[in-house]
Amino acid sequence: MKIALVGTRGIPANYSGFETCAEELGVRLVERGHQVTVYCRSHHITYAKPYYRGVRLVRLPTIPNKYLDTIAHTTLAALHTLTQDYDVVLMFIAGNSPLSFVPRLGGKKVALNVDGLDWKRRKWPPLAKKYIQFAEWLATKLPNRVITDSRQVQQYYQERFGAATTYIAYGADVLPAPPGEQMQRYGLEPQKYILFVGRLVPENCAHHLVAAFDRLKTEMRCVIVGDAPYAGDYIEKLKAMAGPRVIFTGYVYGEGYQELSSHAYVFVETSEVGGTHPALLEAMAFGNAVVVNDTRENLETIGDAGLTYDGSRGAEALAETLQELIDQPERTEAYRLRAKERVRQFFTWDAVTDEYEALFKRMLDN
């Protein structure tokens, strides 16, 4: 099959979950004999070669603006697909659904992975929230298939729109790394820091952890990995409220990310919106004990393999849960083992690729 992936920033992955999905899925599909193209935003992807790990890259410009970046690039990419002989186009993000009909004009089959309920994010003004909710409805009308990576989101589409969707989980295959340069750089020791990884935007609630950490009775440190464009004010507030044992690393990828993720005492997922959070799954795969904001989506991800805190109470509730784990290292170790086993059973990229490949074949058969 000839397959195009549209709607992400592109690969090599260096931003968020959908970029990682595009890379992990694309590379595995190529290894299975398919021809895969990933559309990349030229100002995000600096990798200059035409192929990456066997995946063809098409770089197109966009408007580098908080509200227009994604839709502008997807518009160009969707139009470009009309000049290509793809069999299947996989689009990402519900907000791109109005463009999912474009490849179909050229005879392509289109699947759309809608992600989480993006209209819940605080960053969107009221008009943008209305657009995203309208786009969710269009997602049930314009593409050939709708994909969700969360059973909770799948249930939402069924109840809200009466629409059947295909559930395909997110994957998490990781390679633990020994302590090295990253930990030395920040003076970190194994099992002596609490870790957060994610975009530093208000709805991801890193402020819960920063404030909770100040309440803990511990000599551990708190490591905040991530950044975000267009969120400078929020990030400055985070840093202003942080104590001296809170470390902000900015973006960390590759071996540095693997190293920090391999040796945390606890990983905390504070986000209050979204579907399946890739950083959470990967933290579990690395063998971390995890504590999550008690959204339905997070509860679905961890099952009985992690702990929760009451997101409505924020830092106060999170501090209580973290203190329990700090005071009970044997319990923490048990949750590490549970987390790793859960990912091994339900969230591998090979299994995810099986599901996507089977879906694409069914779409072409129909």
The DSSP code sequence of 3-61 is: EEEESS--SS--SSHHHHHHHHHHHHHHHTT-EEEEEEETTT----SSEETTEEEEEE-
CA angle 172, 327, 296 (to 5 degrees): 40
Instruction: Yes or no: say if 85 and 56 are a contact pair by the CB < 8 Å rule.
Output: no
**pTM as predicted:** 0.85
Name which of 260, 242, 247, 265 is nearest 315 in CA terms. Answer: 242
Length of the chain: 366
User: What CATH code would you report for 2-171+348-365?
Assistant: 3.40.50.2000
Q: Give the pLDDT score at 119.
A: 65
Q: What are phi and psi of 116, to 5 degrees?
A: -90, -165
Q: Give the pLDDT score at 227.
A: 93
Give the integer Cα–Cα distance in Å for 366 and 364.
5
Q: Locate the domains of the chain by residue range.
A: 2-171+348-365, 181-346
Q: Give the pLDDT score at 16.
A: 63
Q: Give the pLDDT score at 43.
A: 86
The residues, any chain, with a CB within 8 Å of residue 226's CB and separated by 6 or more, are: 196, 197, 198, 199, 200, 206, 249, 250, 251
Q: Do domains 2-171+348-365 and 181-346 have the same CATH topology?
A: yes
Fold adopted by 181-346: Rossmann fold (3.40.50)
Q: Give the pLDDT score at 278.
A: 87
Read off the tokens for 346.
Answer: 């339900």
Calculated CA dihedral for residues 241, 247, 251, 257, nearest 10 degrees: -140
Read off the tokens for 276.
Answer: 């399946």
With a cut of 70, list the residues of the chain below it in pLDDT. 15-16, 119, 123
Owner of token pair 């071996």: 255
Q: Give the pLDDT score at 17.
A: 74
Q: Give the pLDDT score at 320.
A: 98
